[in-house]
Amino acid sequence: MKRQDIILASASPRRIRMFRERGYEAESVSPRVRESVPFEMNPETTVMYLALIKARDVMQKRKGLIISADTVVVYQGRIITKPESPEEAFRILSGMREDRHQVITGVCIADNSGERPRVRCLYDTTDVFFGYYSDEWLREYVQTREPYDKAGGYAIQETFGQHVDHIEGDMDNVIGFPMYRVEKYLQEPPEAERR
């Protein structure tokens, strides 16, 4: 499979590493956008919209294949943001204990290297099931740095992963990027070659 240069509209080291591990030359360009929606949207539309505005911002500065993403945690139908304090992290994670939530990632794939830009947005959902963890363990956890730059206050590949009972769906999506969906798109020949 031909590996192509990719401009990743993200500063996430996890996403950059995922691309490079699969042999893509991924350059990181951080988008400068306000991550908010203009009106109430469901979680799936929200993540695609946020991915789209990140891609659009980078498209104004660079030409090429630009890929952006946004990930949210959804619990009981409500988007759970990144906690900003130990108290908030404790409240979020104690609420999700022994229960299921969803991790939803929206992706925008934009190619502005030709005369006419092509843009495609998609999303992927994974169900995550937490097991039991004590309040005492959780109080120690929220004093670490781990919860504060992650949607929902945890990362499955880090310390909190020991409390994930199981998942239904794609593990890469929980880490922050549905690589299998994007690779499938990248492997498709350009429209002119498909005719």
70 given a catalytic annotation: yes
User: What are the structural domains of the chain?
Assistant: 5-194 (3.90.950.10)
Six-digit token string for 154 = 């945890």
Mean pLDDT of 23-52: 90
Six-digit token string for 130 = 């937490």
Catalytic residue (one of 5, 57, 70, 172): 70
**Over the chain, what is the mean pLDDT?**
90
As a 3-state breakdown, the chain gives helix, strand, coil percent values, each rounded to 5, of 35, 25, 35
Query: Any residues with CB less than 8 A from the CB of 191 and at least 6 apart, and which?
Result: none
82-121 pLDDT, tens digit per residue, is: 999 999 999 999 999 999 999 999 999 999 988 888 999 9
Q: What pLDDT does 97 receive?
A: 98
Residues in the chain: 195
Taking Cα atoms as reference points, which of 25, 18, 33 lies closest to residue 3?
25
143-181 pLDDT, tens digit per residue, is: 999 999 888 999 999 999 999 999 999 999 998 899 988
